[in-house]
Structure 1
C-alpha cells in the first residue's frame, strides 16, 4: 500500500500552512493548531488503509512490514533534524542542556507527555509532540485492529471504534471540567486519540460507503466550521477541550472523503501544482519550520523580515529533505506477499 495518497496532498498543504501560520504569528492566528488535527485524521485513515490493504493482498495483517514502512516514512528525516539541532546548538551558542533534552525526548517519542504535564514548554523541538503522539498510537493500533477484525462484521468493528472515540472525548471533557490544564487535554494520547480513531473508522467503513449527496452537503459545512475555528479559537480554549477537538476532526474526515471526489471547486483548491508541491513536502516543512523560526527570531528578532527568511529556509530544507532523504527511503516498498496457495499478482505492463 502507498504511504502517501496524492489526492490528499492538497489537504496536507493547507494543514501545514495553518500550523506554520500559528507559529509565525501565535497571537494573531490562534486557530492554526487545527492543522495538526487534520494530520491526525489523515494519519489514522492512511495507516488503517495500509494495514487493510496488506490484509486483502496477503490474507493477514503484515504488522512487521507496517512498522518498516512507518520507520522509513518518519525516522530518516526526523533523525537528520535531531542531528542538525544537536550540532546547531553548539554552533549557535544555545542553552545546550534544554536543547539536548528535547532531542532525547523527540528521539524517544515522549515529547507529548512532557508537554502535557508541563515539564516542557516551547523550545526548538516542542512541535515534535504530535509526532510522538502518533508514534505511540502506531504501537497500539495494529494489535487493536487485529482484534477488531475478528468481530463478526466490519460494521461491528466500526461501532467499537466509534465507541472508543466517544470515550476519549468524554475523558477529555471530564479532565477539562475537573480543572486540567489546557496542555494536558491537548497533548496526551489519551485525550487526543479521537482524531486518529476518526481517521481509522473512516478507513474501516470505506470512503465509498459515504453517499455522494451527503458528501456534497457536508463538505461546505465542514469547511466553514474549520475556517471559523481557525479565525476565532485557540487550542487553549475550553470549547476545544469540551468537544471542539472532536468536531474539528469530524470536519477533517468529511474533507478527506470530499478529496476523493472533488468537484470543480475542490479540484481548484486541492489540485493545483503549488498546493500539491507543498503537500508532498509537508512533512519536511513541519519538521523544519519551528527550528528555523526559533533561530531567526533569536538572532534577528521577531519581525516579518526574519519570519520570511525562516520560511524561505524551511521551504529549501523541506525540498532537500524530500528529494534526498524521504523519497529514497519511500521507494523501498515492502510489497504484500500473496496468501499461501494464492496466485502471484500480475503486474501491469509499463
Structure 2
C-alpha cells in the first residue's frame, strides 16, 4: 500500500480544527468536524491494511494486529500522561478527578465515564475519541474475518454505509437531547471509511473525481455552518454532514496521484503536521486546560497565550514523535516478522 502524503495533510487539517476549537472555545465550532475526519480516515486506512493482509495470507492475524496497534498508540499516550502528571496535580482544582481522568485515558474508557457524567477536570476528556477508536480496533478485524465468508460480503460497502448513515442520523436526534449519548454513535464515520476502503479495493469505486471532493468540501462547510447556528445540536447534525463530506474528500485524495487538492494537502508543512497529528491531539488539550487553571482563564485564551500554547504543543508533539518513532517502528517490524 503506497504512502499518500495528502492523507497526512488531511490529518493536519483535522487536528488544526480540533486545536482551534479548544483554544478559541465556543466561538469556534469546527472541532468536532476534525474528529469526524479522523474517524473516516481511520476506518479507511485500517480497512486497507486488513484487506491487504487478507489478500496476502487469506487471514488476519488478530494477535499481531492488536499488538501493532498497541505499539503504535500506547507509547505516545503514556508519554503525554507523564509529561502533564506533575503540572496537572499542581494546578487542578480537584486533583483526585485529574488522577481519575488519567486512569480513564490510560484504559481507553473515557467515553464510558463521560457518558455517565464524569467530566470534571476535562484535561483528558478529548481521549473519548481514542476510546471509541479502540473499540473499533478490537471488533472490526474479527468481524471482517467472519463477514468475508458470508453471502452479505458482496454487499459490504452498501451495508456499512447504510449502518453508518443510520447511526449518524439517530445521532442528530440524540445530540439535541443529551450530547453525552452521542459518543458511540459518532463511530458511524469509522464505518463509512471501511465502506470506502472495501469499495475501492474491489474496483467498484476506483477513484472519486475532483467534483466529489468539491461536494465533500461543501458538506464539511455546511456542517460547520450547522454547528455555528445550532448550539443545541452542534455535534449530531454536523457529524452527519461532516462524515459523508469526509468520505467523498478522502475517496478523491486517497487515490488520486495528482491534482490541485492532492498537491495542496501534500505540501511539506501540512505533511509534517499530519505526521505528528496523533501526538499533537494528545498533548494540546491538557496544556490548554492547565494554562487555564494556572492563570484562572476560560476559553478563549488571550491571543498571545493561545499562540504560545499552539507553538508549545507542536514542539512537544514533535519531540514525543521523534523520541518514540524509531522504537515504535522497530517494535512493529518485530511483530510483523
In 2: Cα distance, 1:167 partner to 1:107 partner: 31
Residue 336 of structure 1 deviates from its aligned partner by 5.9
Residue 103 of structure 1 deviates from its aligned partner by 0.4
Q: Structure 1 residues 50, 334: closer, same or farther in 2, change over 3 A? A: farther
Which one is further off, 255-264 or 320-329? 255-264
Count of residue correspondences: 329
Find the counterpart in structure 1 of residue 177 from structure 2: 180
Q: C-alpha offsets along residues 125-179 of structure 1, whole Å, 9 cap, x if unaligned? A: 1111111111112111112111211124743222332342244235435535xx6
Find the counterpart in structure 2 of residue 169 from structure 1: 168
**TM-score, structure 2 as length reference:** 0.88
Q: Alignment partner for residue 267 of structure 1, among 262, 270, 275?
A: 262
Q: Alignment partner for residue 209 of structure 1, among 200, 204, 214?
A: 204
In 1: Cα distance, 2:289 partner to 2:169 partner: 36
Q: In 1, are the aligned partners of 2:172 and 2:233 still within 8 Å (CA)?
A: no
Residue 118 of structure 1 deviates from its aligned partner by 2.5
- 1:1-350 alignment runs, 5 A limit: 5-92=4-91, 95-121=94-120, 123-152=122-151, 154-173=153-172, 175-176=174-175, 180-185=177-182, 187=183, 189=184, 191-206=185-200, 208-210=203-205, 212=207, 215-234=209-228, 237-238=232-233, 240-241=235-236, 243-259=237-253, 260-261=255-256, 263-300=258-295, 301=297, 302-331=301-330, 332-333=332-333
Q: In 2, are the aligned partners of 1:117 and 1:184 still within 8 Å (CA)?
A: no
Structure 1: unaligned runs, 5 residues or longer: 338-350
Secondary structure of 2:333's partner? coil
In 2: Cα distance, 1:159 partner to 1:225 partner: 20
Q: C-alpha offsets along residues 286-332 of structure 1, whole Å, 9 cap, x if unaligned? A: 00110111122333443111111111110111111111113420343
Q: Which has the higher helix share?
A: 2
Q: C-alpha offsets along residues 105-129 of structure 1, whole Å, 9 cap, x if unaligned? A: 1112111122233322561111111
Q: In 2, are the aligned partners of 1:284 and 1:321 still within 8 Å (CA)?
A: yes
Residue 89 of structure 1 deviates from its aligned partner by 2.7
Q: In 1, are the aligned partners of 2:93 and 2:293 still within 8 Å (CA)?
A: no
Q: Structure 1 residues 84, 184: closer, same or farther in 2, change over 3 A? A: same
Q: In 1, are the aligned partners of 2:5 and 2:265 still within 8 Å (CA)?
A: no
Q: In 1, are the aligned partners of 2:47 and 2:197 still within 8 Å (CA)?
A: yes
Structure 2: unaligned runs, 5 residues or longer: none
In 2: Cα distance, 1:30 partner to 1:143 partner: 36
Find the counterpart in structure 2 of residue 342 from structure 1: none
Residue 71 of structure 1 deviates from its aligned partner by 0.4
Which one is further off, 149-158 or 99-108? 149-158
In 2: Cα distance, 1:285 partner to 1:277 partner: 11
Secondary structure of 2:30's partner? helix
Q: Structure 1 residues 226, 160: closer, same or farther in 2, change over 3 A? A: closer
Q: In 2, are the aligned partners of 1:154 and 1:205 still within 8 Å (CA)?
A: no
In 1: Cα distance, 2:107 partner to 2:47 partner: 24
